Structure formats: structure tokens, C-alpha cells
Structure 1
């Protein structure tokens, strides 16, 4: 599982935009988003860099969590 903290994710629209961006680069990924904690969890992908770039290209600032 890959986790990102996305502090500029503030609403349901943000959640939808990030989920769509991740699914665009990893259609089979399982995306779980915890809006109150600003955490995006992605399972089923090997390329964390591609997922991070997709979130950035959607207009957000992810930071990888250990």
C-alpha cells in the first residue's frame, strides 16, 4: 500500500478529483481517501511516482507517508 498526505485536499470535489487522477494512471488500483485526516491510500500499484505525479497534475500537493 502507498500512502500520501494531501493537506490541500479539503472537500468532496478534491476527493473525487484525486481518485479520478489515480484511476487514470492505475485503473485497477484500490483508492481509499480519508478526508478529515488528509490521507490517500492506494493499493494495487507498483509505481508510487506515477501516482504522486497524477495527484500533482490534478492540482494537489501530496507527500509520501511511510
Structure 2
């Protein structure tokens, strides 16, 4: 079992969380997805090594971005205005 943590940029509501959870949950081998709206945190557990590219692609498919390591300390800097799910 393996676990990886990411920072998702652009989520502003519960629908955003559901979209990311659903898309990442469909990545083969993923056993658990935990998304924290307040921090943008995404924790992914898998049966084998986490397929980083597949997780990032799933987040993008949901309409959001994974912050690069250099952006993690800056929080949501560079975030565009409006909700990624289109609700606002």
C-alpha cells in the first residue's frame, strides 16, 4: 500500500471536492481518496505505488490543477478567480 499527498488549486465548494474525489477514485489501484476543501489537500492511497501522472491527469479531468512543489508554500497563489466547477 502506498499513500501520496497533493495540493489541488481551484476548489471552492463541496461540488469541487466531489468532482476531484470521483475522478481520482477512478484511477486504477486507488483504494481511498481524501480531499480537504479548506487546505486543498488531496491524499490518495493505492494498492501499489501511486501513479503520479494518473492522479494529476484525474485532477485535471475534474477541472483543477495540482500545485507544483514550488507553489505549495505559497498556498493558492496563481489561482484563477471563480470556481473550477463553474458554480460561481
Q: Report the TM-score range of the alignment, normalised by the length of the smaller protein.
A: 0.7 to 0.9
Q: Which structure's residues are more often helix, by fraction?
A: 1
CA distance in 1, matches of 2:22, 2:29: 9
TM-score, normalised with respect to structure 2 = 0.64
CA RMSD of aligned residues (A): 1.7
Residues matched between the structures, number:
65
Q: What is the aligned partner in structure 1 of residue 55 from structure 2?
A: 51
Match runs of 1:7-46 below 5 Å: 7-26=9-28, 28-44=30-46, 46=50
- Ranges in structure 2 where 5+ consecutive residues have no aligned partner: 70-88
- Ranges in structure 1 where 5+ consecutive residues have no aligned partner: none
CA distance in 1, matches of 2:41, 2:63: 16
Spell out, residue by residue over 1:5-61, the C-alpha distance to the aligned partner (whole angstroms, 9 max, x if none): 112011100000001001112364211111101111101152111011111111101
Higher RCO, 1 vs 2 (CA within 8 Å, ≥6 residues apart): 1
- Indicate the structure (1 or 2) with the bigger Cα radius of gyration: 2
